[in-house]
Structure 1
Amino acid sequence: MHQLVNLDLLSDLRGDLLSLEQLKNVPFDIKRVYCLTKLHADHPRGFHAHRQLQQLVICLSGRCRFVLDDGHQKQEVWLESACQGLLLGHSVWREMYDFSEDCVLLVLASDYYDEADYIRDYQEFLAATEIR
């Protein structure tokens, strides 16, 4: 499961303010926050799914392209605004491409880092989606 979520960005002469609140505009308890910076257009990232983890990904600056796969169909999504987040549920294969030079991604996660939650082999991911 994935969906784009509209976020409120308050703007005035002083700048922009983006507020993120767990169980309000972030639909889960936030246990981990991390940023991806200094990304390169010719070095894609991702290539994994999660067994249980939920994430909200926000492009704070620049833009990038996600290819999302639920095991049955693929969808392409561009993130290019801090006003919109990409909510990623578990069992979604994600690949990230075409990072602009100024791309900064903020990721809010529903749990702490746990390598056992990752599915890094695409064939294993497809097999797991057949069970659902």
Structure 2
Amino acid sequence: MTTIHDSNLIEITKVNDVRGNLSVIENDAIPFEMKRIYYLYDIPSGAKRGGHSHIDQHEFLIALSGSFDVVLKDGKEQKTVTLNRPNVGLHIVNGIWRELKNFSSGAVCLVVASDVFKEEDYIRNFKKFKSSKN
């Protein structure tokens, strides 16, 4: 049974250069094989994203620009992680509820996922999520 303690921050390679920095995400940088990449942007003030859990899928979230909070819940504990550096991402394991909130103006959230979109992998009701953890 996964807990919020199984999700962790991962620093990815940052190449410093006077012309601008470069970071690279390759399969050895994160603990799963990438199958899908998407990003969230133009999020209205006060809006929240997420509000679900995955049965099998893992995700790696990075604030490419700006900042936002990720609230992680495992049915017993909760923790909030602030993402605000483009070379540090949050690995969220399967079986963890996530909510994204407090997006700064111009924030961009990159999501690297371990699988393609499959609606049957989502748990979108928190009560159902909590009962799945027992």
Does the pair score TM above 0.5? yes
Structure 1 runs of 4+ with >2 Å offset? none
1:27 corresponds in structure 2 to: 31
Are the counterparts in 2 of residues 68 and 93 from structure 1 also a CA contact under 8 Å?
Answer: yes
Once residues 116 and 16 of structure 1 are traced to their aligned partners in structure 2, the CA distance between those partners, rounded to angstroms, is: 39
Indicate whether 1:14 and 2:32 are aligned: no
- Matched length: 129
CA deviation after TM superposition for structure 1 residue 91, in Å: 0.5
CA deviation after TM superposition for structure 1 residue 40, in Å: 2.2
Structure 1, unpaired ranges of 5+: none
1:36 corresponds in structure 2 to: 40
Percent of aligned positions that are identical: 35
Counterpart secondary structure, 1:29: coil
Residues 43-96 of structure 1: CA deviation (Å, up to 9, x unaligned): 111110000000110111100011100111000110000121000010110011
TM-score by length of 1: 0.94
Residues 87-121 of structure 1: CA deviation (Å, up to 9, x unaligned): 00101100111100110111110000000000000
Once residues 40 and 98 of structure 1 are traced to their aligned partners in structure 2, the CA distance between those partners, rounded to angstroms, is: 10
The structure 2 residue matched to 1:121, chosen from 118, 125, 129, is 125
TM-score by length of 2: 0.93
CA deviation after TM superposition for structure 1 residue 41, in Å: 3.0
